[in-house]
Amino acid sequence: AQSVTQLDSQVPVFEEAPVELRCNYSSSVSVYLFWYVQYPNQGLQLLLKYLSGSTLVKGINGFEAEFNKSQTSFHLRKPSVHISDTAEYFCAVSAYTGGFKTIFGAGTRLFVKA
């Protein structure tokens, strides 16, 4: 079984400051890792994904994440945030067990202040 823990429920940060949203996971099988963003009253949009290969993954809107297998982490970072980055961010793991099953973390609310 898989599980995902997002270590911060809310992260307030000033505009143009760097940010890191933390995610740890556990799984007994190989997994794929994702970060999604959700704006109010909308569905989820994929920011980036780790399937295999390089552990540093770059996504849309200037976000990147690093897969650390030994620490079972997949933290999301952005060097300089904008007001428009205010949203809910979800870390997720997916595994194939006869069919795909994706487990999401509880979410981190990023609030960017002017």
Partner 1 sequence: KAGVTQTPRYLIKTRGQQVTLSCSPISGHRSVSWYQQTPGQGLQFLFEYFSETQRNKGNFPGRFSGRQFSNSRSEMNVSTLELGDSALYLCASSLVVDISYNEQFFGPGTRLTVL
Residues lying near partner 1 in the complex (CB under 8 A)? 32, 36, 41-46, 49, 51, 90, 92, 94, 96-107
Token pair recorded at residue 4: 């995902």
Residue number with CB closer to partner 1 (96 or 111) = 96
In the block, tokens 């794929």 appear at: 32
Q: Tokens at residue 13, please?
A: 């940060």
User: Which lies closer to partner 1 via its Cβ, residue 15 or residue 86?
Assistant: 86
Largest CA distance in the chain: 47
Cβ nearer to partner 1, comparing 46 with 56: 46
- Contact residues for 97 (Cβ-Cβ < 8 A; gap 6+): 29
Shortest Å distance, C-beta 25 to partner 1 = 15
**Least Å distance between CB 26 and partner 1?**
16
Nearer to partner 1, 5 or 86 (CB): 5
Tokens in use for 68? Answer: 């650390």
Cα–Cα distance measured from residue 43 to residue 52, given in angstroms and rounded to the nearest whole number: 26
Least gap, CB of 95 to partner 1 (angstroms): 9
